[in-house]
Amino acid sequence: MLSKLKFIITGSLSLIFIMASAQENQVLYFMNLPQNHLVNPALRPSNSVSIGLPVISGISLSLNNNFFNYSDIFFKKAGSDSVYSFLSSEQATDDFLSKVNKKNSFSPQISIPVLSIGFKTSKGLYFSFDFIQKADANGVLPGDIIKLMLKGNGSFLNDKIDLSSMRMDMKYYNEIGLAVSKDITNNLRVGIRPRIMTGIAATRLKNKSLGIRVNEDYSHSIDADVSANFAGPFDVLTNSEGDLESVEFDSDYLSGFSSFLNAQNLGFGIDLGATYKLLNNKVTVSAAINDLGYIRWKNNVSNVTLNGNYVFDGIDFSDIISDEKDFSDIGDEILDTLEQKFNVVKTNDPFTTMLTPGLTLGGSYNLTKSVSFGLLSNTRFIGKQVRQSMTMSANLNVSNLVSLSLAYSLQNHRADNIGAGLSFRAGIMQFYLLSDRLPVSWNKLKVDDDANIIVPSNWNTLNLRFGMNLCFGNRVSKKNDKPIIENEQTF
């Protein structure tokens, strides 16, 4: 049972490791791709018409956390070629816990395109239509809950397990957007991208107060003022007296087509952007405000509120290690305590989830027609948290057929983020792959006597986008052309 527990904890923390901040790739900003308007609606590709087909035109994944690297979970000891986990010894566990923050944030995101179309008009306008499915979450995991899982209740004797920072917001939705950019002058372009969102599923945890004190006799004093909102495939079940029994996931809910285009869960958002050229088009500066908006959840909604301050017999996770109980037994005990001791109120009131707004400031210098250098600042506002990143890049654009970018970023409390992007055209097909973080060192993780897994030794961030576009028209400005800005890519 102990090995099973270690496997579950290691797997769970590995999963948290691969979770990431909900933002578009920084490298995307510098690439000659139809998707660059997702970063700033004033940006355009060089081609006249682009078409993105379902899925293959660009899956985007963002994966990171702010409190540990993969090398903190699996590592090599000095003088040994073997790879050990943070649960291999008490000292290894203590070393891992010393790196855990009081508040540990993670925010995964994935977006999958359904359809996209972009085209340029003779009036200096460019239109981009996108239909995208997105899923993202923002969470905070208190350091005390990790310590509780690894060290047990005894480590908090006569002390408080502080869970007041715990938070989790998740949403799964469709996004339909129309970006429009216009050349105001030969130097100034502005862009706007309004969008409509239809919600499929969501959860939101609002935590005003949550803490557990482990008393001398191992009884627990708990105070809670917590509410949870659910929309979509979640059944909040109560008994005949109205007491909470369970929260179950309804897998059949997602099998119906109506759940994917649910106009009752309606939201609106907008992006704003601008670019300005200086010094005979040698320098370009830009700014964008992204993801201003919300989704209002009204369909299949449940709300649960827990409020109270009570003392009850302690629940000890060490019972799992001793094989006296399993996880389901502990879960039932916790649920029984909530039912018997707390004021649990269930309602069906609509609730609102907000998008994660961001501010992007960029600048570039064109050394030659094909070579440029860029600087990009991105700030995200996630609840009360502010996350900042800075990216420097060197970029190559050869006749609008091959685009290459090498980037270095300061982000996620690290200064070793090396990113790269590559796109090339083969006829009307444009292939691309880009990432903000490439692992530069690797370890071998021994699975058994005959197999090894190669894992990154220092890695806590990944923003990955890859796909294929259909592109038509790719005019390159000639030497005797009048000064125009149709050759869009300058980053």
Task: State which residues form the domain around 341.
Answer: 2-472
Structure tokens at 61: 């994944």
Structure tokens at 440: 């530069």
The whole-number pLDDT of residue 209 equals 86
Q: In the 8-state DSSP scheme, what is residue 107? A: -
Report which listed range, 353-362, 386-395, 466-475, is most confident: 353-362
CATH number at residue 264: 2.40.160
Question: Which residue would you say has higher pLDDT here, 35 or 316?
Answer: 35
What is residue 239's three-state secondary structure? coil
Whether residue 485 lies inside any domain: the answer is no
At 6, the pLDDT band (50, 70, 90 cuts) reads: very low
Whether residue 480 lies inside any domain: the answer is no
Whether residue 486 lies inside any domain: the answer is no
| Region 9-16 average pLDDT | 43
Q: At residue 357, what is the residue type? A: P
| Region 306-332 average pLDDT | 62
| Beta-carbon contacts of residue 181 (< 8 Å; ≥ 6 apart) | 37, 41, 42, 43, 44, 125, 126, 189, 190, 191, 192, 273
Residue range 45-99, pLDDT digits in tens? 988 999 999 988 888 888 666 666 666 776 666 666 666 777 777 888 888 888 7
Whether residue 488 lies inside any domain: the answer is no
Whether residue 179 lies inside any domain: the answer is yes
Whether residue 360 lies inside any domain: the answer is yes
Residue range 207-249, pLDDT digits in tens? 888 888 888 877 778 888 888 899 988 877 776 666 666 777 7
- Cα-based distances in Å from 139 to 66, 109, 206, 424: 11, 12, 11, 37
The whole-number pLDDT of residue 449 equals 61
| Beta-carbon contacts of residue 27 (< 8 Å; ≥ 6 apart) | 391, 393, 405, 407, 419, 420, 421, 434, 435, 436, 463
Taking the C-alpha atoms of residue 148 and residue 154, their distance in angstroms, rounded to an integer, is: 9
Report which listed range, 74-88, 250-264, 317-331, 372-386, is most confident: 372-386
- Which helix or strand (DSSP H or E) is residue 444 part of? strand 442-448
Could you please report the per-residue DSSP string of 276-332? EEETTTTEEEEEEEEEEEEEEE-SSEEEEEEEEEEEE----THHHHTTS--HHHHHH
Domain count, the chain: 1
Whether residue 487 lies inside any domain: the answer is no
**Phi–psi pair at 218, nearest 5 degrees:** 70, 10
Taking the C-alpha atoms of residue 85 and residue 106, their distance in angstroms, rounded to an integer, is: 21
Report which listed range, 385-399, 404-418, 420-434, is most confident: 420-434
Residue range 122-143, pLDDT digits in tens? 888 999 999 999 998 888 888 8
Taking the C-alpha atoms of residue 414 and residue 426, their distance in angstroms, rounded to an integer, is: 37
Whether residue 490 lies inside any domain: the answer is no
Q: How far apart are the first and last CA of the chain?
A: 55
CB 317 within 8 A of CB 277: no
